[in-house]
C-alpha cells in the first residue's frame, strides 16, 4: 500500500517559509494598479473558494492546494486576527496538511481595524508572492466583501494580473456543522465560571450555557443566510461554479468522506484542472452540470482529509 507521505509529498511543489507573524498596520502598501498590462493568455491563475460558514471551504482549499501545488490565502476577516484560534475556527496544523497558509493570525491587536481595502492590498501581494514561487494561490474564506474588493476593487487591478476560477461550496441552510465565534454569546457564562461559586449556582450556570449555545446557533444561521445572499449576488456578476456539499454533511465517518470526494472534491478538481489547462470555457459552460457531477476523479488525485488529519497527528 502506498504511504500517505508518498502520495502527499509530490502534490506540493515546495514548502515555503510561513507568512509573517503580524502585519504592521502603519506601513503603507503599494497599489497594484498598472502593475501588469499582460494579455489574458499571459496572466497568472488563481482560485477563489467561497461559501457560508461551516460548509467546508478550508477543506476544499486544502484539497485543491494538495492536488495542484497551491498555497492558501485566508479571506475570513475574523481569522486575520491573532488569538481565538478555536472560536474563529482556524485550521489546525493537521487540517492544513503541510499546505502553506497566509493571512491567518497576522493582525496582532483585536482593536485594529482591517478594512476591505487593507485585505485587497495584503492579499494581492500574497497572491503575487505565491505565484512567483510557481504555486497556485487558493483564496478561501467567508468574508465575501473582502473577496469582492480583492477581485473588483482598485480598478480591478487583481484581474489585470490573475485569471480567476470561482468555486462556491453550498450546503442547505438546514444542514451542516454550524459554527460561530461565540465570544459575545458566552461572555456572561464565562464570567460566571470565572467567579467560581460566588452567588451563581451550578444550575444557573448550566441554564446560562444552554442560552448561550442557542444564541450561537441562531446567530450563525443568520450569518450563513447573509453570506449565501452575498454569494448569490456575486454569482450574477462572476462565473461562479457551485458545488453542493449537502450530502457530505448528511453522512458521517467514512461515508461522509466518500461523499465529499465524489460530490465536492472530484468535480472541483475537474473544474480547476480545466481552468489551468485552458479548456475552462468549453467544460464549464453549463453551471448546473457541476451540481450533478457524480464521476469521481482518479483515486491518486484525491487524499481523504480524515487520513491527512490522522497522519498529521502521528496516528
Strand, helix or coil at 70? strand
Is residue 212 in some structural domain?
Answer: no
Residue-wise pLDDT for 236-254, tens only, equals 888 899 999 989 988 889 9
Per the rule left: phi > 0, alpha: psi between -120 and 50, beta: everything else, 314 is: left
| Greater pLDDT, 53 or 250 | 250
Is residue 209 in some structural domain?
Answer: no
Containing structural domain, residue 115:
4-177+239-312
Is residue 164 in some structural domain?
Answer: yes
The per-residue pLDDT for 266 is 95
How many domains does one find in the chain? 1
pLDDT at 15 over 50: no
Q: Which of 46, 251, 12, 256 is nearest to 160 (CA)?
A: 46
Strand, helix or coil at 49? strand
Is residue 261 in some structural domain?
Answer: yes
The per-residue pLDDT for 233 is 82
- Here the cell at position 97 is 496538511
Residue whose cell numbers read 486544502: 62
* 98 touches 69 (CB < 8 A): no
Q: Percent of the chain scored above 70 by pLDDT?
A: 63
The per-residue pLDDT for 14 is 37
Is residue 21 in some structural domain?
Answer: yes
Question: Span 307-311, mean pLDDT?
Answer: 30
Is residue 285 in some structural domain?
Answer: yes
Per DSSP, the chain holds a count of helices (H) and strands (E) of 13, 6
pLDDT at 69 over 70: yes
The per-residue pLDDT for 25 is 60
* 23 touches 203 (CB < 8 A): no
CATH number of 300's domain: 3.40.50.300
Identify which of 123-127, 277-281, 310-314 has the greatest average pLDDT: 123-127
Is residue 200 in some structural domain?
Answer: no
pLDDT at 282 over 70: no
The per-residue pLDDT for 59 is 94
pLDDT at 34 over 60: no
Residue-wise pLDDT for 159-195, tens only, equals 999 999 999 998 885 443 334 345 555 556 566 665 5
Residue whose cell numbers read 484539497: 63
pLDDT at 105 over 70: yes
- DSSP string of 123-149, one letter each residue: HHHHHHHHHHTT-EEEEE-S-HHHHHH
**Bridge partners of 50?**
168
Is residue 202 in some structural domain?
Answer: no
Q: What are all long-range contacts of 37-43, with beta carbons under 8 Å and residues at least 24 apart?
A: 37/160, 38/160, 38/161, 40/163, 43/160, 43/161, 43/162, 43/163
Amino acid at each position: 500500500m502506498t504511504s500517505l507521505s508518498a502520495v502527499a509529498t509530490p502534490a506540493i511543489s515546495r514548502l515555503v517559509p510561513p507568512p509573517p507573524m503580524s502585519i504592521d498596520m502603519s506601513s503603507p502598501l503599494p497599489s497594484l494598479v498598472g502593475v501588469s498590462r499582460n494579455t489574458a493568455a499571459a496572466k497568472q491563475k488563481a482560485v477563489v473558494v467561497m461559501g457560508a460558514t461551516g460548509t467546508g471551504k478550508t477543506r476544499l482549499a486544502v484539497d485543491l492546494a494538495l492536488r495542484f501545488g497551491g498555497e492558501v490565502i485566508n479571506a475570513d476577516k475574523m481569522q486575520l486576527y491573532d488569538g481565538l484560534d478555536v472560536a474563529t475556527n482556524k485550521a489546525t496544523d493537521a487540517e492544513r496538511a503541510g499546505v502553506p497558509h497566509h493571512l491567518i493570525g497576522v493582525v496582532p491587536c483585536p482593536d485594529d481595524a482591517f478594512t476591505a481595502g487593507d485585505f485587497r492590498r495584503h492579499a494581492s501581494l500574497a497572491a503575487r508572492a505565491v505565484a512567483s514561487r510557481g504555486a497556485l494561490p487558493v483564496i478561501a474564506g467567508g468574508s465575501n466583501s473582502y473577496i469582492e474588493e480583492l477581485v473588483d476593487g482598485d480598478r480591478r487591478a487583481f484581474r489585470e494580473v490573475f485569471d480567476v476560477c470561482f468555486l462556491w461550496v453550498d450546503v442547505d441552510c438546514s444542514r451542516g456543522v454550524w459554527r460561530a465565534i461565540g465570544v459575545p454569546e458566552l461572555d456572561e457564562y464565562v464570567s460566571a465560571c470565572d467567579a467560581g461559586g460566588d452567588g451563581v449556582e451550578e444550575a444557573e450556570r448550566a441554564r446560562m450555557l444552554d442560552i448561550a449555545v442557542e444564541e450561537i446557533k441562531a446567530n450563525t444561521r443568520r450569518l450563513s443566510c447573509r453570506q449565501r445572499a452575498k454569494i448569490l449576488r456575486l454569482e450574477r456578476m462572476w462565473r461562479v461554479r457551485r458545488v453542493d456539499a449537502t450530502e457530505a454533511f448528511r453522512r458521517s465517518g467514512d461515508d461522509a468522506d466518500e461523499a465529499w470526494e465524489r460530490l465536492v472534491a472530484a468535480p472541483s478538481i475537474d473544474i480547476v484542472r480545466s481552468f489551468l489547462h485552458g479548456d475552462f470555457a468549453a467544460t464549464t459552460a453549463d453551471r448546473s452540470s457541476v451540481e450533478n457531477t457524480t464521476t469521481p476523479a482518479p483515486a491518486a488525485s484525491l487524499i481523504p482529509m480524515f487520513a491527512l488529519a490522522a497522519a498529521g497527528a502521528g496516528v
